[in-house]
Amino acid sequence: MNDPMSGSAVKILSSGRIGVAVQKNGDSWKVVLRDRNFLFPDVFDLPEDDLKFLKVKEISGTKVKSLISGQIDLRALTEGSCILGDISPKSRYKLKAKDLLGGIKSILVAPDLDAIACYYHGLCSFYYDIMDFPEESDHFDENDILEYVCEFSSHILSNLLESPHTVDLSSLISLIEYNETVLEDFLNEGIIADEVYGKLLAKTDADEICKESEASMKKYKFALEQLCAKDDPEAIKTRGYCYYSGNKLYRQDFYKAREAFHKYYAMTGSAQAANTLGYIYYYGRCNNGVPQYDEAFKYFSIGYAGGYYESTFKLGDMFNRGLCVAQNDKIANELYWQVYNQNFDLFRYEKYDNNFADAALRMGNCYHYGIGCEEDLETAYAYYLQAEYAISKRIKENAHYGDTVVYSSVQKEMEKVRDRYKVHDSKAEFVRPSWALWLGIGPRKAMIRIAPFPDGSLLLEATPLKCYKDKDEPPKILVVIPQADYCSLKSKLMVRTAPQSSYEIYGHSEKIIFNNVTYDVATGVTTFLMDDMPMGRIKTDKYTVSAPTPPGTKAKKGKKYRFVAVKFEHSRRTYDYLCDDKTVQIGDYVLVDGYQGETRALVVNVFERYESQLSLPLTKYKNAYKDKRGDNL
C-alpha cells in the first residue's frame, strides 16, 4: 500500500493481531489494539519492520445493516481494526430508524460496557463519516424520524457509558419501545410525534432559523404551529417572541404577542413572560400607543421578584416619574444601582449581552438630573461614556430589539452634558490613589510593577490577579476618563506619578501584591496592603492616567446619507430614520415601520452623516417615506 500514515490499520507480523498505528517515533510506531477490549485497548511501541500496513477493505451494505441492527460486532466486521471502510457502491445502505432502535435494544438486553462502546463507535463512524445525508426538505418525512432516533440513541449510549451505575436500564428499554411506536405510527399512518417537532425547535432558535433557507424556515414554522395547537408552553413562548420582535417567520403583531405571553404566564408563572408583558403595557403597544401603567407596574413587579434586570430598571423609571406609584427618586436610584452593580462584573469579563448599558445610561441620568443624588455633570458624563461603550459592544455581539433606541438615547444625553461639561484634557489626575479602585481591589488581589524615570517620576503597571472564581483570565479594567471622552476595557492600567516621587517595596519582591490602600493626606504617602499587612508605599504629589488623544469628529469617509429625526404621537423621544426623499422637511409627516405596520410620525429634524460617522451599522437604520395624505389625518 502507500507510505505508512498515522491512523492506518496494521497487522502485527509476530502475533497476527490487527490494530491502528497512531504515532511514529523514529523506526517504531505506537499501535493501539482494540481486538480484545475496546474500552481498555492494548498499546504497544513496535518496530516498523514487525508491521504490515493494510488497505481498509470496502464493506457491503448488508454487513453495515447487520452492524447497526446489532447482529455483528464492529471488531468482527473490521477484523479487529475498528476502522470502517467505504461502502461498496453496488450495495449502498440507507440507515433505517428501525435497524438502529433494534440494535440499541439488543445490546441493552444483556449490557456489556465494552460491547456498548464498540457499537457506539461503529454507529458514529457510519453516521458522521460514511452516511450519505439526504438533501434538505421543507416538510417532515422519514429522515426527520431517523435524525430524531439517532440523537435519542446517541444520548442513551453516551449517558450509559459515562454513568453506567446510575442508569435505569428498564426505563431505557421502555423509552426505546416508545420510540418504536413513534416510528410505527409514522410508517403506518404518517403521524409525526410531538417529540420530533420538539427536537427541531430545541436544535436552534427562531432568530437563527431565519438566517437559513426557505425550506428550513417552512419546516420550523410548521413544527411551531403544530406544538402551539397542542398548547406546548415552550412553543407558545417562542412564537410569542416572534410576534413581539417580528422576523421572517411572523410579522410583528403585539396583540398576538400579548395573547401568547398571557397564556404562557398562566401556564408557567414565568417571570420572563411577566417582564415582556410589562413592556407591552408600559409602551401601550396594544392600546394605540397609550401606556397602561397599572398593568405595567403589576408585571414589572413580578419580573423584578423573579430577578429580571429589565423589570428592575423599568420599575426604577416608574418610581422616577411617578407613574402609577408615588414618585420616589431615592427608590429609582437604588433600583438603577442594583442593575448596574450586578451587571458590572459580567461586563468586565467581556460578557456584553447584558443590561450594563441600560443601567449605566440611567445612572448617568441620576447624576445629570439629580435623581436620588446630587447633580454632578462629570460623574454623569462618565456613566454616559460607559453606556455608549457598552451598547456599542452589545449591538456588535448580539443586537436586541430596542438597542438602537438605547444608543440614540445615550447620544442625546451626552450631547446635553457636553454643552455644560467641557471635554478638555487627555488625562485624569488623582491626588489620592482612587484609580486603584478600578482594579477591583478588596474582592480580589492586584499587582503593581514599578519603573522609575530620571526625573523621579514612576510608571506603575497595575493589573488585577486571578482568583478562585476566574475560569480563565481575571476581569478587565474599565478605564473611564470623562475629560478625554474616553472609555475602554483594558488588561492593565498604566499610571504615571509626579516627578520627585519615591517608593519602597517591602520584602525581597520586585512587585507589590495588594488588596487595599490607605492614603496619608499630610505626607502624600500611599500604602499598599495585603489585608492589614503593608506590602509597599509610594510618595507622590499626584497620579496621572492618560488616554489616547481624543478622536474628535470622526473622519468624513464613505457615502453621505440623509436622515430624519421623528416623533410619534404619545412619545417624548425622537428616533432617527434614513430618508432619501429631499422634499421631506421639518414639520412634514412620514411613514415608518411601527408596531402595527406602517406608523405616521412627525419630522422634527433633518440632517446628513457620512458612513464613517454613523453611530450604528447602516443595516440597523430603517427607512422613512413621505406621507402624502396630508397633515390633518
pLDDT surpasses 60 at 33: yes
Q: Assign 593 a pLDDT band (cuts: 50, 70, 90).
A: confident
Q: Which three cell numbers stand for residue 190?
A: 404518517
The answer for residues whose C-beta is within 8 angstroms of residue 477's C-beta and 6 or more apart is: 348, 438, 439, 440, 463, 464, 489, 490, 491, 492, 493
Q: Which three cell numbers stand for residue 18?
A: 490487527
Q: Which three cell numbers stand for residue 592?
A: 415608518
Whether 442 and 345 share a structural domain:
no
Q: Assign 597 a pLDDT band (cuts: 50, 70, 90).
A: low
Task: Look at residue 38 and tell me if it is in a domain.
Answer: yes
Pairing state between β 493-497 and 446-452: unpaired
Q: Which three cell numbers stand for residue 544?
A: 496621572
| Least-confidence region, from 85-94, 184-193, 341-350 | 85-94
Task: Look at residue 187 and tell me if it is in a domain.
Answer: no
Element (H, E) at 21: strand 18-25
pLDDT surpasses 90 at 600: no
Whether 528 and 619 share a structural domain:
no
Per residue in 75-98, pLDDT (tens digit) is 999 988 999 888 877 778 888 899
Whether 215 and 316 share a structural domain:
yes
SS3 content of the chain, % helix, strand, coil (to 5): 45, 20, 35
Q: Specify the pLDDT at position 549.
A: 60
pLDDT surpasses 60 at 553: no
Contact 60, 86 (CB under 8 A): no
Task: Look at residue 250 and tell me if it is in a domain.
Answer: yes
Q: Which CATH number does the domain housing residue 14 bear?
A: 2.30.30
Q: Which three cell numbers stand for residue 595?
A: 408596531
Q: Specify the pLDDT at position 633.
A: 44
Question: Where among 387, 418, 449 does a domain terminate?
Answer: 418
Task: Look at residue 229 and tell me if it is in a domain.
Answer: yes
More confident residue, 58 or 239: 239
Q: Which three cell numbers stand for residue 258?
A: 400579548
Q: Specify the pLDDT at position 128.
A: 79
Whether 210 and 340 share a structural domain:
yes
Residue 313 to residue 174: CA distance in whole angstroms:
49
Q: Specify the pLDDT at position 3.
A: 63
Q: Assign 132 a pLDDT band (cuts: 50, 70, 90).
A: confident
Mean of the pLDDT values across residues 563-583? 82
Q: Assign 613 a pLDDT band (cuts: 50, 70, 90).
A: confident
Mean of the pLDDT values across residues 340-351? 94
Question: Where among 493, 520, 546 does a domain terminate?
Answer: 546
Residue 433 to residue 169: CA distance in whole angstroms:
64
Whether 364 and 398 share a structural domain:
yes
Q: Specify the pLDDT at position 265.
A: 98
* Helix 214-229 / helix 233-245 crossing angle, nearest 10 deg: 130
Q: Specify the pLDDT at position 615.
A: 67
Whether 355 and 445 share a structural domain:
no
More confident residue, 159 or 294: 294
168 residue type, one letter? D
pLDDT surpasses 90 at 422: no
Return the percentage of the chain with pLDDT > 70, whole number.
Answer: 96
Please name which of 633, 616, 583 lies closest in space to residue 405, comparing C-alpha atoms.
Answer: 616
Q: Specify the pLDDT at position 601.
A: 86
Q: Assign 551 a pLDDT band (cuts: 50, 70, 90).
A: very low
| Least-confidence region, from 64-68, 190-194, 386-390, 618-622 | 618-622
Residue 252 to residue 591: CA distance in whole angstroms:
16
Q: Assign 573 a pLDDT band (cuts: 50, 70, 90).
A: low
Whether 388 and 504 share a structural domain:
no
More confident residue, 573 or 253: 253
Task: Look at residue 1 and tell me if it is in a domain.
Answer: no
Q: Assign 571 a pLDDT band (cuts: 50, 70, 90).
A: low
Task: Look at residue 190 and tell me if it is in a domain.
Answer: no
Task: Look at residue 504 and tell me if it is in a domain.
Answer: yes
| Least-confidence region, from 185-194, 253-262, 265-274, 334-343 | 185-194
Start-to-end C-alpha separation, the chain: 84
Task: Look at residue 191 and tell me if it is in a domain.
Answer: no
Per residue in 295-327, pLDDT (tens digit) is 999 999 999 999 999 999 999 999 999 999 999
> Average model confidence (pLDDT) for the chain?
90
Q: Specify the pLDDT at position 300.
A: 98
Whether 375 and 323 share a structural domain:
yes
Please name which of 433, 387, 393, 443 lies closest in space to residue 412, comparing C-alpha atoms.
Answer: 387
Q: Specify the pLDDT at position 133.
A: 73
pLDDT surpasses 90 at 631: no
Whether 357 and 441 share a structural domain:
no
Contact 91, 118 (CB under 8 A): no
Whether 494 and 401 share a structural domain:
no
Whether 70 and 32 share a structural domain:
no
Per residue in 447-476, pLDDT (tens digit) is 999 999 999 999 999 999 998 888 889 999
Q: Domain count of the chain? A: 5
pLDDT surpasses 60 at 433: yes
**Most confident segment among 156-170, 193-207, 250-264:** 250-264
Domain containing 94: what range?
61-182
Whether 577 and 511 share a structural domain:
no
Q: Specify the pLDDT at position 101.
A: 92
Residue 264 to residue 552: CA distance in whole angstroms:
49
